[in-house]
């Protein structure tokens, strides 16, 4: 039985209930985070909390919860759910009002919901244990505020379903100028001639915590050239390696795009090196 946290109490997930007048339900008016943990230890916590605060500030939700209080909630949730390999989902919405109105109401009490779900054990750079992603591509049709980790995810949901219906389960997105943005629920890295590249952050991408950690780890612990630079669709299609990054995947290799192999069609050596380094350093302190 999963234990969740809703409005100041721990409850079995099946018993957690919110009002249909919650603005998270009516408008997707909220911010969320997904924080991975292994054996009760949280990964990239400060980066996740900083992104949460940025998102809440950006959409004008004031919350009463300090970083310390949130961390205590996560610690108790992990404990009550067995301290295994757990993702923590946290969502803070603008709260409940009895009149539906697009404009923000003044002074609503935000709703905090959190629960845990099982995540796979990390793969330590082993190509036989990792998912080999076969993805397709689309023009990125989401909005201009993809840097906000908003619960309004319909644009991502529709792109993800294109990936699912294409048979791959993820999808690489490109802007109208054929520049890579990200995937439906991941950031993207490309390797070409031993150079590791990922697109720079702007309002078309989420500032992924895994992306940030991978950049910091590779810069500190490898001699690889690591660049944040625009990447065209042609460059992605000609890459030696392509990786997806997210909190629950860490780094995972893409082995084909639109039916054509990436490199030789198997996870590449730089991916194995990067994921092995991630394995050694995921519990480091990142800011
Ligand atoms: C659109 C999008 N981009 C990137 C990411 C990766 O972010 P993180 O590494 O913080 O999980 C996610 C994760 O859910 C996402 O939804």
Question: Which of 206, 213, 217 maximizes ligand 1 atoms within 8 Å of its Cβ, making it the mutation to test the pocket?
Answer: 206
Mean pLDDT estimate for the chain: 97
Query: pLDDT-derived band of residue 106, with 50, 70 and 90 as boundaries?
Result: confident
Pocket flag, ligand 1, residue 207 (CB < 6 Å):
no
Contact 187 CB / ligand 1 (< 6 Å): yes
Q: Which residues pair with 32 in a beta bridge?
A: 91
What confidence tier does 159 reach under pLDDT thresholds 50, 70, 90?
A: very high
- Report the percent of the chain where pLDDT is more than 70: 100
CA 254/CA 236 separation, integer angstroms:
11
Residue 93 Cα, ligand 1 centroid: separation in angstroms? Answer: 19
Judge whether 3-118 and 133-281 match in fold. no
| Residues 173, 251, 240, 147, Cα dihedral to 10° | 30
Ligand 1 lined by 44 (C-beta under 6 Å): no
Q: Any idea which residues carry the catalytic annotation?
A: 149
The pLDDT confidence band at residue 131, using thresholds 50, 70 and 90, is very high
Please give the distance, rounded to the nearest whole angstrom, from the Cα atom of residue 187 to the centre of ligand 1.
Answer: 6
Q: Which residue has the tokens 């970083």?
A: 67
Residues 6+ apart with CB under 8 A from 69: none
Asked whether residue 287 carries a pLDDT value surpassing 90, the answer given is no
Longest C-alpha distance within the chain, in Å?
A: 58
53: CB partners within 8 A, 6+ apart: none
CB 236 within 8 A of CB 242: yes
Per DSSP (E only), the strands in 44-165 are 85-93, 111-118, 133-139
Q: Of all atoms in ligand 1, which is nearest to the CA of residue 146?
A: 1
Residue 182: pLDDT band with limits 50, 70, 90: very high
Q: 222 φ, ψ to 5°? A: -140, 165
Tell me which fold the domain 3-118 belongs to: D-amino Acid Aminotransferase; Chain A, domain 1 (3.30.470)
Quote the ligand 1 centre to 246 CA distance (angstroms): 5
Q: What is the mean pLDDT of residues 113-132?
A: 95
Is the pLDDT at 19 greater than 90? The verdict is yes
Task: Report pLDDT digits (tens) over 29-59.
Answer: 999 999 999 999 999 999 999 999 999 999 9
22 DSSP β-pair partners: 96
List Cβ neighbours of 38 (8 Å cut-off, separation of 6 or more). 85, 121, 122, 282
**pLDDT for 225-238, tens place per residue?**
999 999 999 999 99
Domain coordinates in residue numbering, the chain: 3-118, 133-281
pLDDT at 213: 98
- Using the 8-state DSSP alphabet, how is residue 15 labeled? G
Which pLDDT belongs to residue 3? 98
Of 242, 269, 273, the residue nearest 132 (C-alpha): 242
pLDDT value at residue 107: 87
Q: What is the CATH class of 133-281?
A: alpha beta
Ligand 1 centroid – CA 188 distance (Å): 10
Mean pLDDT of 108-113: 97
* Ligand 1 close to Cβ of residue 172 (< 6 A): no
Atom 1 (ligand 1): residue with closest C-alpha?
185
């Amino acid at each position: 039985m999963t234990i969740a946290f809703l409005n100041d109490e721990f409850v079995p997930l099946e018993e957690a209930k919110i009002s249909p007048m919650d603005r998270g339900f009516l408008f997707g008016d909220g911010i969320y985070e997904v924080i991975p943990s292994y054996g009760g230890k949280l990964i990239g916590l400060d980066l996740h909390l900083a992104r949460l605060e940025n998102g809440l500030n950006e959409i004008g939700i004031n919350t009463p919860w300090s970083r310390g209080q949130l961390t205590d909630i996560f610690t108790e949730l992990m404990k009550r759910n067995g301290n295994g390999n757990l993702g923590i989902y946290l969502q803070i919405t603008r709260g409940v009002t009895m009149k539906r109105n697009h404009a923000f109401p003044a002074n609503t009490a935000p709703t905090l919901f959190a629960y845990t779900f099982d995540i796979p054990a990390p793969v330590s750079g082993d190509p036989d244990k990792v998912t080999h992603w076969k993805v397709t591509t689309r023009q990125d049709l989401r909005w201009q505020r993809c840097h906000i980790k908003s619960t309004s995810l319909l644009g991502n949901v529709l792109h993800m379903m294109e990936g699912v219906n294409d048979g791959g389960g993820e999808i690489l997105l490109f802007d109208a100028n054929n520049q890579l943005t990200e995937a439906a629920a991941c950031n993207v890295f490309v390797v070409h001639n031993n150079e590791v590249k990922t697109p720079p952050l702007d309002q078309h991408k989420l500032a992924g915590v895994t992306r940030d950690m991978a950049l910091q780890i590779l810069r500190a612990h490898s001699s690889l050239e690591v660049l944040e630079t625009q990447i065209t669709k042609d460059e992605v299609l000609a890459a030696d390696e392509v990786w997806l990054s997210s909190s629950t995947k860490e780094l995972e290799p893409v082995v084909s795009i639109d039916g054509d192999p990436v490199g030789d069609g198997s996870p590449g050596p730089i991916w194995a090196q990067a994921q092995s380094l991630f394995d050694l350093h995921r519990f480091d302190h990142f800011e």
